[in-house]
Amino acid sequence: MTHEQIKKALQERGLSFAAIAKATGRTYMSLTIVSQRKAKGRPSALIIAGALSMPVSDVFPDVPQYAMPARESNVNRAKQILKDAGLSEYVA
């Protein structure tokens, strides 16, 4: 989605960048510049996608990094691999 499409979709839901910024403790500008692709910010992209009730990959298909799993899920995956390998005593 382009910035204008995101803005329009937010307006159709009765939302704005200012409203979701205030609700999430972000700045209006941090959300806007991510939407405009002037900066990258996964947390801001996830907030925007969440406000639209859409997957981040649908809102920002041109930024594949946003759709990557969060670090925590990578850590959990690594723990499971170590356990499966019989190394449970080394898993924190």
Q: Render pLDDT for 51-85 as a digit per residue (tens, 0 to 9).
A: 999 999 999 999 988 887 666 667 777 888 888 89
What does the pLDDT average to over 19-30?
A: 95
What does the pLDDT average to over 4-33?
A: 96
Residue with tokens 């999430």: 24
Kindly list the distances between the CA atom of residue 33 and the CA atoms of 44, 54, 68, 70, 75, in Å, as whole numbers in the listed order: 9, 19, 20, 21, 30
Domain range list for the chain: 3-65
Write out the CATH class of domain 3-65. Answer: mainly alpha
Determine the pLDDT at residue 80.
86
What does the pLDDT average to over 11-34?
A: 96
